[in-house]
Amino acid sequence: MRWWLPDAGSTFAGPIDTLFLAILIITGITFVIVEVGLITFVIRYRGRPGRKAFYTHGSTRAEVIWTAIPAVTMVALGLISNHYWVLIKNKKSIPPNAYHLGVHAKQFEWQVTYPGKDEKLGTDDDFTVRNQLHVIVNQPTAVELTSEDVIHSFFVPEWRLKQDAVPGMHIMAWFQPTKTGEYEIGCAELCGMGHYKMRARVFVHTPDEYKAWVAQQAAGGSE
């Protein structure tokens, strides 16, 4: 039973989780203020015969305070968030040394295209594997998301990575795994009756493991 975000598996997890925690604290404080306030008022000011309510139409000072504080916090939060947002989603932030893969979504499977030995996409030693994403640990990787039919969404919880694959669009998403191991891709956008089982495995290898796998694929000559 997990009570928090999945364990961190990519470089994005750090900032995102801290931001999450920060917001949790901000909202947590607000939450406590509101709920505790309500409860105390409910108890303190419960109606009793003979008491009369304090007749007031409000206090501008108080209202200015509780308008200003949220305004400031929200703007600050926005600025901080935007920094990481650009880092994660902006095309320009994709590291130049990124290793490029193609991911083609289709009801209801993920087709991953690998550059093969020459490490370049679009050459004839490329090969495509269904529902298996093999990547290298600590290696910035960029996937070009495309879709055959409807909108799908490429989602790896441990990497804090989610990006829709939209028919008619070529969308780049990048990430840098920090842990070797086996993960899962889920499809996070309703794409038909098979949406729930549109599942693929993710293998994060050490560089030479990966080379070995590529070689073996080439030998196996799958597509």
CA-angle at 40, arms to 38 and 43, nearest 5°: 110
Q: Which of ligand CUA, another protein, ligand HEA, none is residue 125 near (CB under 5 to 8 Å by kind)?
A: none
Contact pick of 25, 35, 128, 215 for another protein (by CB under 8 A): 35
Residue the block writes with tokens 């490490």: 119
- Sole window of 45-53, 156-164, 190-198, 215-223 interacting with ligand CUA (rule: CB under 6 A): 190-198
User: What is the smallest separation between the CB atom of 114 and ligand HEA, expressed in angstroms?
Assistant: 31
Contact pick of 17, 20, 132, 195 for ligand CUA (by CB under 6 A): 195
Cα Dmax for the chain: 91
- CA 5 to CA 53: how far, in whole Å? 46
Write 69-78 long-range contacts (CB < 8 A, 24+): 73/26, 77/22, 77/23, 77/26
Contact pick of 104, 134, 152, 205 for ligand CUA (by CB under 6 A): 152
DSSP 192: S
- CA 157 to CA 184: how far, in whole Å? 8
Nearer to ligand HEA by Cβ, of 101 and 198: the residue is 198
- Sole window of 109-117, 135-143, 164-172, 204-212 interacting with another protein (rule: CB under 8 A): 164-172
Contact pick of 6, 8, 17, 73 for ligand HEA (by CB under 6 A): 73
Neighbours of 37 (CB within 10 A): 10
Contact pick of 81, 132, 138, 180 for another protein (by CB under 8 A): 81
Q: What residue ranges bind ligand HEA (CB under 6 A)? A: 27, 30, 34, 70, 73
